[in-house]
Amino acid sequence: MASSIQKYVQLRDALIKEKAQLEARLAEINGALGDGASPVASAEPAAPTKHKPGRKPGRKKKATVAEAGAAPKVVRKKAARKKAGRRAGTRTRSAVPLKETIVKVLEGKLLTRQEVAAGVKEAGYDSSDVLNSVSSTLYQNKAFVQDKKSKKWKLA
């Protein structure tokens, strides 16, 4: 054990000597280049300057209530700014939750996702993409099980 400690101390001393030689050489190089920088760079790495705090370029400063002098204005979006495919207002809500509707459709039956979605639509459930909603509910809830052979869904 003592020999390994001695080896460590010898290697450490050798590295310290080599570091001093390299620092001296760097000082010579800096002197030849005429840099006013210190011969040895600081041991601590500089903080990354990748991202500066503050507003993104092109963004306008928001006026505060104190700057405006009165109550802040309500900004209404123009119809031209709306993204295509988005509905105005709140999302539609059906009277009965989707899970309960699927349970009613699947009672005593073995159905594919498409058949379940059609049954849910007939039951009056309203959604922009019924098949997507039904598929998500079927796969996430343990109340529904997919038959391995026929790939059809049933109640657990």
pLDDT tens-digit readout, 97-131: 888 999 999 998 899 999 999 999 998 887 888 89
More confident residue, 63 or 139: 139
Domain-embedded: residue 131: yes
Number of domains in the chain: 2
List, for residues 26-80, the tens digit of each pLDDT value. Answer: 999 999 988 665 555 555 556 666 666 777 777 777 766 556 555 555 555 555 5
Question: What Cα–Cα distance (Å) separates residue 127 from each residue in 92, 117, 123, 138?
Answer: 7, 11, 12, 16
Does a structural domain hold residue 18?
Answer: yes
Residue whose tokens read 């802040």: 72
The answer to whether position 122 is within a domain reads yes
Helix ranges, 98-148 (H): 98-106, 113-122, 130-140
CATH of the domain at 133: 1.10.10
The answer to whether residue 12 is domain-embedded is yes
Q: Residue 121's domain spans which residues?
A: 98-155
Tell me whether residue 66 is in a domain: no
- pLDDT of 137 strictly over 60: yes
Q: Determine, yes or no, domain membership for 39.
A: no
